[in-house]
Structure 1
Amino acid sequence: MGNDGGVIAVKRKFMRHAQGEKKQEKAEQDLVRLQKIKHCAISEEPLLEPIVACRLGNLYNKQVLLEHLLARTIPDRFQHLKSLRDVVSCNFSHKDNAKSDQCGEKKEAFYYCPISMVEFNGCHQFVVLESCGCVISAKAWKELRSKECLVCGTHLSKEKTIPLFLSAEEYTAKQQQILNQKATKKEKKAHCVKETGQNERRKIKKRKAESDVYKRADVSKSITNNVSDYVRKEKNKNAVFASLFKSGQEKKNANDLMMTVGGMRYTLS
């Protein structure tokens, strides 16, 4: 410690610059979180109810999101959004006693967790329950996990939650996972449609073959009926023609007997 070169700088004044970088990084992260909890992820406009959340933890103005979906102008960062089925409507608990500054802006958070009373200000992790859309703190959900929502009493058929405000690394990984799931689901659906189409074509071909059989039978029946009608009409018109269709039990006349006997007489045995 006596100017021998072995002094270690442990005092605050010597570490000031190193701590400044950490403070600046933390301030930037706080600013990003504050931006996310107060503004729509797509339009960057102030959040106005109704508010929806996607599986990546982004918050959107529902009207703005719907307009982008209809116009098909969704940015690449939100390519996992294809319809309103990809988002969940959020039920926030309002904080009525939020104070305002001189400019009329809210100093405190608009929303809070009704279970832990933690403010929704970006400093605490919050989750959205998929079954009912209630927004509570992650700590309250972890400690008081239940089969019913502790806010609205809805039965939670799924214990799935959507964590809000993921980090950049988590966001990219989860987005890729969602896109892969969608691609797999689309392939399965296409395969099912293909099999269904083949089955339908086989059924149509079978019905057509059966129909052709019935048509041929109807044609044969029609021809038979026409021939029967023609024979009946001709029998009424011509006695000689009618004699060709006499049954063996009918009484034979002299000419018939002569032809029969003559035929037997001159038949070679």
Structure 2
Amino acid sequence: MHPKSHQIFVQSPELQILPQSLTLSAISNRTLSHLKRSLFPDSPRIISSLYFTLNGKPLLDETPLSSSQIAPFSTLILRYRLFGGGGDGGATGAESRDCYLNMYAEKKPDKVDPNEQRLSKWLNCALSNETLSEPCVIDKLGNIFNKESLVEALIGKKLPKEFGHIKGLKDMINVKLDLIPGVDDGTSGSKFQCPVAGLEFNGKYKFFALRNCGHVLSAKALKEVKSSCCLVCHKEFEELDKIVINGSEEEVLVLRERMEEEKAKSVREKKAKKVKNGNVGENGMCLEGKRLSGSKHGLDVKAVAKVEGNGKVGLKGVGDAPVAIATAKRFKATDVAPPNATKDVYASIFTSSRKSDFKETYSCRSLPLGRN
């Protein structure tokens, strides 16, 4: 037990109380609650909001000053007591309960398993998402389809915009997939494989389709067996005949550029063929066999190229572009008059009557002036 009187120190940084030295006497029946009342005799309301700590540990108001916890010359810290709070680090009591309900109102999208997404791309049709089943085709960008689904979408004009480059059967390449022996169609895994290396057609390995024969081979087989012929049917192919299936963005970009080059080359060959046959002029204008529509004006105009004595087609230049000379025949009613008909009479049906020296009156057009 401590003596009946001893000295302690009291300080409070929050209440801006400077360290004070207090000498406590007759402390046998006194507690920390009595000490707070002695420090704030004029503010009884604030006493319940304060508590003492010793060496960082809070002390109860009922703790006697003569207890063994409070040794002589101890320093007591007086602090404010904080009421309420949810312990979540940010609750102020001002939030509405709706903010918590709204967090769970909308269901978050389920995370897509990357393995399932990869398998779906290789085992299902890129258009209908149905399981791949022969006959299968690919486009020039390496997307694989069930042929029946793709043809139906083409006929019904229901192709999505991403497959807008497919215009007809010429843009499809028939492929031959090798089935894994003993695998049923109802299985969830891959049912196709490389006919040479035996690698599964499931997206883990790169596969190429040969455009000239349609066989689908793994990149590993084509790399290990270096040959310019198909490893299945031994048909020769070039490097441009290899189309990667479900390639990366960079590989698809290369295939797209190749497709655009092939289209431009086809257009140039068609134009050159027309020029060679003599049906197209230097500016791309058709010179013969072309009838211009003149039905609105009762005319039928035919573009006639002027042929000179040397047998060359005569062209009249307009600026830098040559234009074919065309003639138009004017319609005359007398040219189509029926047999045994007077041409002048027949022509008067379509033309106004000749001017007369007599003037007509407003009351009767048949009676000229001076004769009534």
* TM-score (norm: length of structure 2): 0.42
Q: 1:40-189 residue pairs with structure 2 within 5 A?
A: 40-98=125-183, 105-153=186-234, 155-159=235-239, 160-171=241-252, 173-174=253-254, 176-178=256-258, 180-181=260-261, 184-185=264-265, 187-188=267-268
Residues 182 and 122 of structure 1, relative CA distance in 2, 3 Å threshold: same
Q: 1:11-50 residue pairs with structure 2 within 5 A?
A: 27-28=113-114, 30-50=115-135
Residues 95 and 183 of structure 1, relative CA distance in 2, 3 Å threshold: closer
**Mapped partners of 2:211, 2:259: distance in 1:** 19
SS of the equivalent of 1:197 reads coil
SS of the equivalent of 1:201 reads coil
Long gaps (5+) in structure 2:
1-110, 290-303, 312-372
> Contact (CA 8 Å) 2:244, 2:251: kept in 1 or not?
no
Cα distance, 1:202 vs. partner? 6.3
- Among 201, 221, 230, which residue is 2:287 paired with? 201
Cα distance, 1:182 vs. partner? 5.4
Residues 89 and 202 of structure 1, relative CA distance in 2, 3 Å threshold: closer
**Mapped partners of 2:247, 2:208: distance in 1:** 11
Cα distance, 1:166 vs. partner? 1.5
Q: Which structure is higher in RCO with an 8 Å CA cutoff and minimum separation 6?
A: 1
**Larger C-alpha radius of gyration, 1 or 2?**
2
Pairwise CA RMSD = 3.2
Long gaps (5+) in structure 1:
1-23, 211-269
Residues 122 and 157 of structure 1, relative CA distance in 2, 3 Å threshold: closer
% same residue: 31
SS of the equivalent of 2:187 reads coil
The residue type equivalent to 1:149 in the other structure is: C
Cα distance, 1:110 vs. partner? 0.7
Residues 43 and 174 of structure 1, relative CA distance in 2, 3 Å threshold: farther
**Mapped partners of 2:155, 2:125: distance in 1:** 17
Cα distance, 1:178 vs. partner? 4.6
Cα distance, 1:128 vs. partner? 0.8
**Mapped partners of 1:176, 1:108: distance in 2:** 30
* TM-score (norm: length of structure 1): 0.56
Which of the pair is proportionally richer in strand? 2
SS of the equivalent of 1:165 reads coil
SS of the equivalent of 2:280 reads helix
Which of the pair is proportionally richer in helix? 1
